[in-house]
């Protein structure tokens, strides 16, 4: 018996039940054992995936927080702009009022300085003369003059006289408010008709020309506009 025949006899066939069990295990998809290296790589991938999910959730929270902070900042900026605009308007109104008061004060001072020295001397002489000859009637006349100042000016001459009275008190050291009260007149009344006495004091000749066209039937505010027009055409 040769060697090949011996090997064929010694080789036993595999049991059928073992073969069937192996085939059944492969067909049912039982897990096949992996090498340690493959398991470690899979674990690392799962860990990285979990970290990525956590990072994504954290970034979403940060974005949400930053968006809210941005909206809050925009609201604060809008609120600040609104307050700033209102404050600027109030400051502008206050500045405009101060400029108007300063302009009126400057106008009164300039008008007073334009009054001729001769006219003031004449008034001083008349007052001294009346004081010597009629002391008691002088008091009575002063009272009458005060009552007259309380009445509304009906013509340009009364407007000029009232304006000069305010100038007189202002020159004596009183402020504008005290000067108005001394003549019993308010600031608005003086400023609205100021062009009449300003023209009469600064340019008497031109004032006389304009006054020639005035009549009692003419409204006083119309005459004020005519004087303002002359002043604007020739400020000198």
Task: Answer whether 203's CB lies under 8 Å from 234's CB.
Answer: yes
d(CA 160, CA 224): 12
User: Is the full-model pTM beyond 0.75?
Assistant: no
Is the pLDDT reported for residue 184 higher than 60?
yes
- Please determine, for residue 163, whether its predicted confidence score (pLDDT) is greater than 90: yes
Whether the pLDDT of residue 232 is over 70: the answer is yes
Q: What's the rounded mean pLDDT across residues 191-196?
A: 90
Residue 35 confidence (pLDDT): 77
In which band, very low, low, confident or very high, does the pLDDT at 124 lie, cut at 50, 70 and 90?
confident
- pLDDT greater than 70 at residue 92: no
- CA-based R_g, the chain, Å: 54
**Average pLDDT of 200-208?**
90
33-87 tens-digit pLDDT: 567 788 888 888 889 888 898 888 888 888 887 887 788 778 778 877 777 777 7
Question: Cβ distance 203 to 175 under 8 Å?
Answer: no
Which ranges of the chain does DSSP label H, i.e. alpha helix?
A: 3-10, 16-27, 36-114, 117-133, 135-150, 156-171, 176-183, 187-192, 195-202, 204-212, 220-233
Residues 6+ apart with CB under 8 A from 149: 162, 165, 183, 184, 185
């Amino acid at each position: 018996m040769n060697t090949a025949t011996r090997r064929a006899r010694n080789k036993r066939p595999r049991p059928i039940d073992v073969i069937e069990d192996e085939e059944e295990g492969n067909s049912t998809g039982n897990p096949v054992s992996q090498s340690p290296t493959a398991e470690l790589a899979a674990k690392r991938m799962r860990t990285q995936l979990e970290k990525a999910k956590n990072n994504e959730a954290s970034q979403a929270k940060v974005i949400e927080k930053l968006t809210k902070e941005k909206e809050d900042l925009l609201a604060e900026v809008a609120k600040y702009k609104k307050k700033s605009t209102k404050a600027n308007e109030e400051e502008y109104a206050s500045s405009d009022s101060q400029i108007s008061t300063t302009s009126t004060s400057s106008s009164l001072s300039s008008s007073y300085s334009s009054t001729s020295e001769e006219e003031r001397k004449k008034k001083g002489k008349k007052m001294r003369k009346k004081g010597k000859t009629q002391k008691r009637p002088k008091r009575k006349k002063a009272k009458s003059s005060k009552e007259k100042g309380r009445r509304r000016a009906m013509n340009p001459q009364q407007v000029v006289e009232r304006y000069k009275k305010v100038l007189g008190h202002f020159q004596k050291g009183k402020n504008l408010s005290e000067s108005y009260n001394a003549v019993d007149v308010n600031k608005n009344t003086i400023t609205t008709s100021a062009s009449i006495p300003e023209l009469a004091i600064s340019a008497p000749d031109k004032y006389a020309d304009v006054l020639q066209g005035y009549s009692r039937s003419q409204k006083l505010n119309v005459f004020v506009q005519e004087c303002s027009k002359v002043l604007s055409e020739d400020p000198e």
